[in-house]
Chain A
Amino acid sequence: NAGVMQNPRHLVRRRGQEARLRCSPMKGHSHVYWYRQLPEEGLKFMVYLQKENIIDESGMPKERFSAEFPKEGPSILRIQQVVRGDSAAYFCASSPYSANYNSPLHFGNGTRLTVT
């Protein structure tokens, strides 16, 4: 049973380019969460999605960041016009239960974004 799959594992972008991070949840999970981990920091919540719906985006920066979880395919976290401050590890997690943050979240291995 495959876990949460994130790709790419490492992503290097120049300032101004776009970054697209992908997350496939565990089989049977229809709830996806994105977290960002800055160097030497804990994880900060960004957004919670169900299929075709954004449930909570209270942690998303107001500009340049967007997320989707289409009916088919992986969840995508998109960062437009990246800046050096976007360099971080981005983790995706999934859970099988509806609107329940108390489920143990199963995390992917993360995507490490480096902006040069």
Chain B
Amino acid sequence: AQKVTQAQTEISVVEKEDVTLDCVYETRDTTYYLFWYKQPPSGELVFLIRRNSFDEQNEISGRYSWNFQKSTSSFNFTITASQVVDSAVYFCALSGLSGNTPLVFGKGTRLSVIA
């Protein structure tokens, strides 16, 4: 069975602070994909990143960075110098290559950035 755990339900930070959102996953697949999505207060889901299980290089995109550690089954997301517009619910998700398993989401972390 596939499972995604986002242990942090809610996080509040002051603007310009760095913040890391944790994601731990479980899967028996040797090939799988990990995703992060953002859900702002308006409700839509915005795709942020996809990473396959063979690529453990960290990725940086502007103020966003992702740390994939296969040894600890974690795919953490860091926002540097947070801004109020970063306030949203962030979902980590997992999809296995075998069996065409659908995307499994964590419960999300609600991030509030205070000015």
Contacts and interface: CB of A to CB of B under 8 A. Distances in A.
A106 B4 CA distance: 20
B106 A42 contact: yes
Given A41-B107, A106-B47, A108-B44, A99 B100 contact: yes
Contacts of B101: 101
Contacts of A42: 4, 6, 91, 105-108
Given A106-B47, A107-B44, A101 B107 contact: no
Contacts of A44: 105
Given A56-B100, A102-B95, A104-B50, A43 B44 contact: no
A91 B105 contact: no
B113 to A, nearest CB: 20
Contacts, number: 62
Nearest to B102: A45
B103 interface: yes
Among the interface residues B45, B50, B108, which one has the most CB atoms of the partner chain A within 10 A? B45
Contacts of B43: 89, 109-110, 112
Interface residues of B, number: 26
29 contacts: A33-B102, A35-B105, A40-B107, A41-B107, A41-B108, A42-B6, A42-B91, A42-B105, A42-B106, A42-B107, A43-B45, A43-B91, A43-B93, A45-B102, A55-B100, A56-B100, A56-B102, A58-B102, A101-B101, A101-B102, A102-B95, A104-B50, A106-B47, A107-B45, A107-B47, A109-B43, A110-B43, A110-B45, A112-B43
Interface of A: 33, 35, 40-45, 48, 55-56, 58-59, 89, 91, 93, 99-102, 104-110, 112
Q: Which 7 A-B pairs have the closest CB atoms?
A: A42-B105, A107-B45, A45-B102, A102-B33, A42-B107, A109-B44, A43-B105
